[in-house]
Amino acid sequence: MDAQSPDKLTNSPENEGGRKEVSFRGYKLLDEVKRQNLWRNKDDKGNLLYNDTDRVVDPAKIIETATALQIPKADAEQAARVELPPLNELEQMSQQALRACIHQAIQEGVLTADQVNLAYRMTRPQDVKIISRDDLGFTGGLNLDTRYDNSLFPDEGGDHLTVTVSDTVVKNRINHYRELAEKAGAALTQDQLLKAALGSLTFHEWTHSLERAFQTQALKILKSSPTYDDNKDYWTVYGASQDIIAKHAREVSMPIVPGLQESNYQLTHIEQFATGMELEAIRMMLEQSGVDRETAKELSEAAREERATRLKDFQSLKDNLGMDDLATENLTGDIRRVLLNNQLDSGYIPSLWKDLGYLKGYTQTETKVMVQKAWEDLQA
């Protein structure tokens, strides 16, 4: 979802009957599906439905509505006419961009060299890979953790975690940042747009490794206690280790959606943490490529505000739906599958709750505080 150019968004005033206006076409589709009773969570007797084929009342009508809302085909080329360097050169540039973002984060006091070195035990800049869209049809960014034992760093018994970025998402980001620049009246070169795209994408994915490094170190420390019993205590200490940064996020930032269940809060936090770094990377890379500080900050904030507007749009949708977290998750999952089965772009429907984290990245100040507090916990 985050690889696409956002729709034009508006605020969400109430319509007749107290319903709020929903502007983003993916959210509007969900709103219309519920309003037209094309989906249900319970049967006529009030019993919960556990099969998506039972919940989806009229898939043909859903596709008709999606088409009317101009949800594009899944294979629609969003990144046409953007020329990129050869993949091997692009990969080197992406690694350099990540190094530059990490160095700048240290300079600005967001991270320390010791924290970065801990994260490098997970993923180093040289572990960034760029692939073509032709490779398995992958069009996004990915940091996949395949470790069997989360208490071991990869360098203790395996390969470092790889950050994988598709050339398609790089092109989409270039187009997106160009649109932001044009709206702000800023003239950016192709090279500046490319560096901002590579920095934001790689810094986002690497930040997942940063958090995993803190979690792994916390788990190692907790398991080293003389009283630790693997049979009795593992899941307790594992849960505590996973919360090493998130618990401090609660102290400095409000939940992205009020009333989220704890498990869903954890999912949104993961992407909020990485997205906050990503948005700062836009500013960092633009400054380093010669854009004046004020303009670079303005464009970074424009990207943040754009996502905040979409989050407000989602909150209006959730108010209209009037459903609990599980029902909302069932709805989004079911409609994503309907679109997929009919070759329409399912990326317009959020994969709850993780995708919501993309819409509200933590501020640099919030990130600095939560990272420092988590680090102090590891040193205690």
Rounded to the nearest 10 degrees, what angle do helices 364-379 and 262-288 cross at? 110
- Taking a C-beta distance cutoff of 8 angstroms, is the pair 296, 290 a contact? no
Residue 232 belongs to a domain = yes
Q: Tokens representing 291?
A: 């854009």
Number of domains in the chain: 1
The span from the CA of 351 to the CA of 348, in Å, is 9
Instruction: List per-residue pLDDT tens for the chain, 380 residues long.
Output: 333 333 433 333 444 456 889 999 999 999 999 999 999 999 999 999 999 999 999 999 999 999 999 998 876 555 556 889 999 999 999 999 999 999 999 999 999 999 999 999 999 999 999 998 766 566 788 898 888 888 889 877 678 999 999 998 999 899 999 999 999 999 999 999 999 999 999 999 999 999 999 999 999 999 999 999 999 999 999 999 999 999 999 999 988 877 777 888 888 999 999 999 999 999 999 999 999 999 999 999 999 999 999 999 999 999 999 998 889 999 999 999 999 999 998 888 987 777 889 999 999 999 999 999 999 999 98
Residue 12 belongs to a domain = no
CB-based contacts of 193: which residues, under 8 Å, 6+ apart? 174, 177, 178, 181
The span from the CA of 214 to the CA of 245, in Å, is 8
Residue 212 belongs to a domain = yes
The span from the CA of 302 to the CA of 171, in Å, is 19
Whole-prediction pTM: 0.89
The conformational region for residue 70 under phi > 0 = left, psi -120 to 50 = alpha, else beta, is: left
Q: Which domain holds residue 91?
A: 75-324+352-379
Residue 14 belongs to a domain = no
SS3 141: strand
The span from the CA of 262 to the CA of 281, in Å, is 29
* Cα separations in angstroms, 362 against 11, 115, 278: 22, 18, 10
Using one digit for the tens of pLDDT, what is the confidence trace for 324-357? 888 999 999 999 999 999 999 888 898 777 788 9
Residue 245 belongs to a domain = yes
The span from the CA of 78 to the CA of 93, in Å, is 22
* Cα separations in angstroms, 102 against 190, 261, 304: 23, 33, 20
Q: What is the CA radius of gyration of the chain?
A: 22
Using one digit for the tens of pLDDT, what is the confidence trace for 28-53? 999 999 999 999 999 999 999 999 99
Residue 18 belongs to a domain = no
Residue 157 belongs to a domain = yes
Residue 63 belongs to a domain = no
* Cis-peptide, bond into residue 353, ω within 30° of zero: yes
